[in-house]
Structure 1
């Protein structure tokens, strides 16, 4: 594999994509393990996170953002509604639609999950040298830019 700005294609550079992918997957797995005691699926947690980040939206919009089919999202929303993490309300201009929003209980769950994950990550970062944390700070900016958020 070659990068546009570096055509040397050394084995080390070819393995960068693989090493980075694996490191991100492993870190994500460890962060997911810090979730709460609720028996929520990863799809449900992701839907809650999207509602937290993006605000209330229709089930169709949520399905699109999550990359799932609308019937699957309907089941996710129903399950989250049953445990009072989300609520549906009538769409203000389209009577065929509903708006899905986090409830206070759902928001509390999201905040608690974020706090647990960040506390775990803070503990791991505290084990590193200042130089290593600086490298990770720069890497986080680069990864965010690669993901299209920067």
Structure 2
């Protein structure tokens, strides 16, 4: 039995193997980004959050991305200056700023996602039906792990 198969028999071994695999896949997916996209992965994450959830305050975005509000303010300022997001006054709280995705931001996000999804779909097509089924079952579990506090 290969070493990695032995390692995943324990929770610690599974954690180590899973961490390594997920990090390698993340790096590979990052490398498959649209080459004309000038945005960082952190900036793209903000566009993705706005696409999924809709308009949010800077504080909500910071909490969602697990960064400090001043850091998110800098990111939002850059994205707004470049036309990827727009800032609006909060409807009831004048101290807050709401952030919304622009058409330009949506287009960049969707083009980038399409390119990475195409790469991953090609790789998935090389797997057996049983392997793809195992990944379908693992995906919600991985999502829960990523969202856990």
Summarize deviations over 1:58-92 as a string: whole Å, max 9, x none.
Answer: 11111111111111111101111111000001111
TM-score when scaled to structure 2?
Answer: 0.85
Contact preservation (8 Å) 2:37, 2:112: no
TM-score when scaled to structure 1?
Answer: 0.85
Contact preservation (8 Å) 2:58, 2:69: yes
Question: Are the structure 2 counterparts of residues 64 and 148 from structure 1 closer, same or farther at C-alpha, using a change threshold of 3 Å?
Answer: closer
The correspondence of residues 1-150 of structure 1 with structure 2, limited to 5 A, is 11=7, 12-13=9-10, 14-36=12-34, 37-148=36-147
SS of equivalent residue, structure 1 residue 93: coil
Distance in 1 (alpha carbons) for counterparts of 2:141 and 2:90: 39
Stretches of structure 1 lacking an aligned partner (at least 5 in a row): 1-9
> Could you list the runs of 4 or more consecutive aligned residues of structure 1 that deviate by over 4 angstroms after TM superposition?
none
Summarize deviations over 1:13-45 as a string: whole Å, max 9, x none.
Answer: 231110011111111111122222222122111
Stretches of structure 2 lacking an aligned partner (at least 5 in a row): 1-5
In the alignment, what sits opposite 2:3?
Answer: none
Distance in 1 (alpha carbons) for counterparts of 2:25 and 2:60: 28
Matched residue count: 140
Question: Are the structure 2 counterparts of residues 59 and 17 from structure 1 closer, same or farther at C-alpha, using a change threshold of 3 Å?
Answer: same
Distance in 2 (alpha carbons) for counterparts of 1:70 and 1:17: 31
Alpha-carbon RMSD across the aligned residues, in angstroms, is 1.7
SS of equivalent residue, structure 1 residue 120: helix
SS of equivalent residue, structure 2 residue 99: strand
